[in-house]
Amino acid sequence: MFKKMSAEFFGTFWLVFGGCGSAILAAGFPELGIGFAGVALAFGLTVLTMAYAVGHISGGHFNPAVTIGLWAGGRFSAKDVVPYVVAQVIGGIAAAAVLYVIASGKAGFDATVSGFASNGYGEHSPGGFTLQSAVVVEMVLSAFFLIVIHGVTDKRAPAGFAPLAIGLALTLIHLISIPVTNTSVNPARSTAVAIFQGTWALQQLWLFWLMPIIGGIIGGLIYRHLLEKKD
């Protein structure tokens, strides 16, 4: 279990460091910034690379909603859910702390003002989308993410391609929803940066735990009961 938790720690660290780091350090850089598409790709690449690197150790969840969704889908033991989630949250916070140190090296940096890649709705949505929009997009995208994960890791699926499909799915999810919520679908990612933003991000954090987990459970149950072939 220690090796599995370590893999989840490092995988989630890489996800937050690479994905949120691209948003904080590179997305808005004058003239050369990578923009929404670059950030979306960065998140996908973090999952793709670490799923290949440590997926054989822990399963490569890096996300509490994925862990709980896999449990709902009958693919993961209930007794391991809490240790995985703890490792993921700690890994995310560690990455956010490193990003904070790096970002603080720029004159005038203020995580409270910049948002520090936090997720939000209403006035804190990048596109000004409402709470209702945030609820729907986080739930629907989390559900489909879990359907993809269950499908590509099914024993009937082609072997060896799961990390690629999962990484591309996460890229697509970000392309859709960065304007709505700055894209969570991952409570550990949301928690990590919200701690350093420190104000509104913490107040709105409840949504980015609740809706990804509900969506993950829905996706796991859909695959388990409607799509999975019974032996």
pLDDT at 13 over 80: yes
Q: Are 145 and 66 in contact (CB under 8 A)?
A: yes
Query: What span, in angstroms and rounded, lies between the C-alpha atoms of 162 and 196?
Result: 33
pLDDT digits (tens, 9 = 90+) for 96-139: 999 999 999 999 899 999 999 999 999 999 999 999 999 999 99
Q: Which domain holds residue 219?
A: 1-223
**106 lies in a domain?**
yes
Rounded to 5°, angle at Cα 90 from 67 and 52: 55
Orientation of helix 64-72 relative to helix 187-197, angle to 10°: 150
State how many domains the chain has: 1
pLDDT digits (tens, 9 = 90+) for 39-85: 999 999 999 999 999 999 999 999 999 999 999 999 999 999 999 99
**229 lies in a domain?**
no
pLDDT digits (tens, 9 = 90+) for 187-218: 999 999 999 999 999 999 999 999 999 999 99
Q: Are 196 and 74 in contact (CB under 8 A)?
A: no
**230 lies in a domain?**
no
The domain spanning residue 177 has which CATH number? 1.20.1080.10
**231 lies in a domain?**
no
pLDDT at 30 over 80: no
Query: What is this structure's pTM?
Result: 0.94
**180 lies in a domain?**
yes
pLDDT at residue 231 in the model: 66
pLDDT at 14 over 90: yes
pLDDT at residue 41 in the model: 97
**57 lies in a domain?**
yes
Q: Please report where in the chains the tokens 């072939």 appear, as a residue.
A: 229
**107 lies in a domain?**
yes
**144 lies in a domain?**
yes
Query: What span, in angstroms and rounded, lies between the C-alpha atoms of 52 and 58?
Result: 11
